[in-house]
Amino acid sequence: MSAIFKREMLSYFTGAIGYVFIAVFLALTGGVFGICTLFMGKESSVSMFFIAMLFIYSIIVPLLTMKSFSEERKTRTEQLLLTSPVSLTGMVMGKFFSAYAMFAGSFVISCVNFYTLFRYGTPNVAVLVSYCVGILLIGAAYVAIGLFISALTENQLIAAIATIGTLIVMLVISFVNQYIDFYPVRFVLSWISIYSRFSNFTFGILDISSLLYYFSICFVFLFLTVRVYEKRRWA
């Protein structure tokens, strides 16, 4: 797994994608943060910033994961991975941790924006930490979903578009859910929704059920990715 992790991390920085991702990530984060806090004056809202970033991450994270497996199939290096002395689980986890390290590292760097909150205001530290934990968990879920979709196609553009569409649907259904009167449907949509669990973090509450939900999303999609390659290995 460590060999795959190092290989993937090296690929991000020997090409342009790693630098472009970090630059776009920091530019969007800084811009949205300025709009939602500094420029809003007394009406500024940190919660608005984090909610906006959920949708922005659903667009930029797929740009990071789209090449993970799609590129391997397109360049015909997939067979080298399948025949290498690395388990399929190790291969998938290596790619997952490398993509997630890029996301988490960029997010940690972007946290320098919060300095202005402490410089010019008195933010609730517990709530701010809770927000950050929620974002890191959602980022892991985004990466896991992106890897699974990338494993289904050799076209990077299709992988990116499909992942973006899937993530946005999983965010939006929480807002649509309130207009549905049939409880069983509301319950299912609420379980699928990524945003409905994130709302618990907005109150500074590290809810165990929410933590388990995001870990479950990661587990399910990483497991499905492994299954895709198990089927492909013996096809």
Say what the pLDDT of residue 217 is.
92
Q: What is the pLDDT averaged over residues 127-155?
A: 91
- CA end-to-end distance (rounded Å), the chain: 24
Say what the pLDDT of residue 25 is.
94
* Neighbour tally for 185: CB within 10 Å: 11
Say what the pLDDT of residue 26 is.
93
The secondary structure of residue 34, as a DSSP letter, is I
At a CB cut-off of 8 Å and minimum separation 6, what does 78 contact?
A: 69, 72, 232
Say what the pLDDT of residue 59 is.
93
Residue boundaries of the structural domains of the chain: 2-233
Angle between helices 125-150 and 208-233 (to 10 degrees): 20
Tell me the percentage of the chain whose pLDDT exceeds 70: 94
213 against 36, higher pLDDT:
213
Say what the pLDDT of residue 116 is.
80
Q: What is the pLDDT of residues 55-114, one digit of tens each?
A: 999 999 998 898 888 887 777 777 777 777 778 888 899 999 999 999 999 999 999 988
Say what the pLDDT of residue 44 is.
60
Say what the pLDDT of residue 172 is.
85
The reported pTM is 0.90
Closest CA to 30 of 64, 12, 58, 56: 56
Please say if the pLDDT value at position 4 is more than 70: yes
Both structure tokens of 43: 């009406």
Tell me the percentage of the chain whose pLDDT exceeds 90: 36
The mean pLDDT value of the chain amounts to 85
